[in-house]
Structure 1
Amino acid sequence: MIPLLVCDDSGMARKQLIRALPADWPVQITQAAHGEEAMAAIRQGLGQVVLLDLTMPVMDGYQVLAQVREEELPCSILVVSGDVQAEALRRVQELGALAFLRKPADATELRDTLQRLGLLQDGATAATPEQPQETTKVGFRDALREVSNVAMGRAAALLAEELGVFVQLPIPTVDLFEASELHMALADANRGDCLSAVCQGFIGEAIAGEALLLFHDSEIADIRHLLGLRPGDDTGTSEMLLDLASILIGACLAGIAEQIDVRFSQGHPQLLGEHAQTIDELIQFNRARWRQTLAVEISYGLEGHAVHFDLLLLFTEDSVPLLTGKIQYLME
């Protein structure tokens, strides 16, 4: 039996990955929810082979790779991540990862990779894992967070290519807000700094909402510099923000749509503040639909630059039952 460690902060991601394992691979499975748990398991000999996520709390995948190298621990690490930036691939290879697979892992690709690395022998005897996948309990928020994680990674790859930087990815947050709570949350985000915001509506199979991308005005000059726009010339700033919003919002929605098997139609993006519309007015206008709002928040950062983008996907209350059904199908 080969000691196999599956490390990911998402129970859904671990469940999907265990499902994708070759049925004839004799493994003893241990699961870890973050890097510190993974390191403890590896030191105990429970990770001869490790399937490792990158974006995790406490200790991320990059830190695990670096620590394994520093301690010279005997394990073969394959990264399975939603962060598909070319720079992410380069960094994990430099740190000693043997392979990089994008989430959600394809069973055929995983099998081929294991065979190529000599970790799976043809004709191996099937074995029952010590920790079957059914023991992994997955809640709705965990599942939606993982779906969002995969989608944000694809959006980050496009943004990194556009700006020529490495995009630092967060762990998405998922919350259910009352309209008043959403108002307070956005007001709090606006405190102490001026914000520009782009809003874009979307709908698909009765799942509807608004995508809201927030830029801190103090950071816009840095964004212009990254795009090669001349300092001191504000011409084209609105177009620049709309273009960046189109990349991030479009890629995120496309990534979510692909996973839950829907097709979103998107409205025209609008820069709030133009035509006298503000975030407050947006909330007032949508208050009837947003009695309760399912909010997914993703905060992108640019390495080496004091630049952050806050992306909120705000699903209407009426969308939640269908979205829950779509997510439930992924969990089964």
Structure 2
Amino acid sequence: MNVLICDDSGFARKQLARALPADWNIKLHQAADGLEGVEQILMGNGDLIFLDLTMPEMDGYGVLETLQREGLRNKVIVVSGDIQPEAYQRVMALGALDFIKKPAAPETLRELLRRHGLWQQSAPAPLPVAVQGSDQHPVQSAIQFTPELRDVYQELANVAMGQAADLLARLLGAFVLLPIPNVNVLEVSELHMALSAAAESDTLSAVCQGFIGAGIAGEALILFHDASFQDLARLMNHQGPLDHGVELELLMDTANVLIGAFLRGYANQLDTPFSQGHPVVLGQHRSIQDLIQTNQSRWRRTLAIEINYRIQGHAVQCDLLLLFTEDSIATMNHKIMHML
């Protein structure tokens, strides 16, 4: 059987390949985005496809729509960090065989494959899994921030982002549109530029919350676009005028959901629990330049993870930035080396 893993993260592809049954007699192929995945499928390399949803070029929904449109009957198992109920409903309606969340545990995969008649456990004589592609690079120094490490950080953020979106989607009864997380090590001037680029509206409201745990520390920053308050109030079934106090309550509720869920998901993957400080309102209805000017002493050289959350069909948009201290990078890199 030709099995295709289609995911933009090299780390996620390797992680999934390692989780597959060792005695499964397959030929394994890889694709780094949806377009490449469709090409591999058309070449006959995707009898069974493990498909991510959030990818550049063409996302997982686009791949499923292409298969459906072309009348191709390849078996597809979606493996995604986006675990919203609507995401599950959409992929199943598009013909997916099943849906599991990232990261996929070996026992979960074995049970799923057994249930669908795709694999049966044999006598313990492990066969090597042939991995096609050029993802197997030597491990780099733990103190560097290499492209391979950036890929791992992006995948960790992808999983945590999906968990936070699922919680927000259930709270609002809506579908949260998810981007590909942006991960970079930034100097303070570059961070200010990134913050400015994240804000497209004239005014913002911002909440900051510190966190710390086992050599890792940083701040989570929510930039909430002021034009979002009206739709957010409707989604939360707020009755009455939208005054300053109500906006503050909506802001804090959204920040608590997104920051808390993201940090839990991120910490669980690193096996490092975080203690969170009290959330602090940095400002309401202010320009991004004012927020940066007032709080610039807080942010120095940092590992920054940026995620833009939007609600489908509503004018609700906010940016979540995770700003890890420079000292935290070496600690996290060391943990990641064990994962690699």
Please name the residue that 1:283 is paired with. Answer: 296
CA-based RMSD of the aligned residues comes to 1.9
Distance 1:54 1:190 in 2: 26
Distance 1:166 1:156 in 2: 8
**Runs of 4+ that moved beyond 4 A:** 132-135
Corresponding letter in the other structure for 2:113: L
Partner SS, residue 203 of structure 1: strand
Please name the residue that 1:225 is paired with. Answer: 234
Partner SS, residue 9 of structure 1: coil
Please name the residue that 1:162 is paired with. Answer: 171
Alignment of 1:28-107 (within 5 A): 28-107=27-106
Alignment of 1:21-32 (within 5 A): 21-32=20-31
When residues 67 and 242 of structure 1 are mapped into structure 2, their CA distance, relative to the original with a 3 A threshold, is same
1:257 aligns with 2:267: yes
Distance 1:326 1:13 in 2: 16
Please name the residue that 2:206 is paired with. Answer: 197
Listed one character per residue, the Cα deviations across residues 254-297 of structure 1 (whole Å, up to 9, x for unaligned) are: 001000010101111111127x994422222x25xx2x111000
When residues 191 and 153 of structure 1 are mapped into structure 2, their CA distance, relative to the original with a 3 A threshold, is closer
Distance 2:193 2:135 in 1: 39
Listed one character per residue, the Cα deviations across residues 3-36 of structure 1 (whole Å, up to 9, x for unaligned) are: 0000000000000000000011101011001111
Q: Per-residue deviation at 1:173?
A: 0.5
1:272 aligns with 2:282: yes
Q: Per-residue deviation at 1:181?
A: 1.5
Partner SS, residue 95 of structure 2: coil
Listed one character per residue, the Cα deviations across residues 103-150 of structure 1 (whole Å, up to 9, x for unaligned) are: 000101101111111111343875433327994347110000000000
When residues 23 and 189 of structure 1 are mapped into structure 2, their CA distance, relative to the original with a 3 A threshold, is closer
1:324 aligns with 2:324: no
Corresponding letter in the other structure for 1:280: Q
When residues 204 and 222 of structure 1 are mapped into structure 2, their CA distance, relative to the original with a 3 A threshold, is same
Of 139, 153, 174, the match for 2:148: 139
Q: Per-residue deviation at 1:44?
A: 1.1
More displaced stretch, 112-121 vs 145-154:
112-121
Distance 1:121 1:263 in 2: 37
Partner SS, residue 160 of structure 2: helix
Contact 2:10–2:135 (Cα < 8 Å) also in 1:
no
Contact 1:183–1:280 (Cα < 8 Å) also in 2:
no
Q: Per-residue deviation at 1:185?
A: 2.4
Please name the residue that 2:321 is paired with. Answer: 312
Q: Per-residue deviation at 1:66?
A: 1.1
State the percentage of identical aligned residues. 51
TM-score (ref. length: structure 1) = 0.93
Q: Per-residue deviation at 1:74?
A: 3.1
Q: Per-residue deviation at 1:231?
A: 5.5
Structure 2 runs not aligned, ≥5 long:
138-146
Corresponding letter in the other structure for 1:136: Q
The count of corresponding residues between Structure 1 and Structure 2 is 325
Partner SS, residue 319 of structure 2: strand
Structure 1 runs not aligned, ≥5 long:
none
Partner SS, residue 201 of structure 1: strand
Partner SS, residue 236 of structure 1: helix
Q: Per-residue deviation at 1:318?
A: 1.3
Please name the residue that 2:305 is paired with. Answer: 296
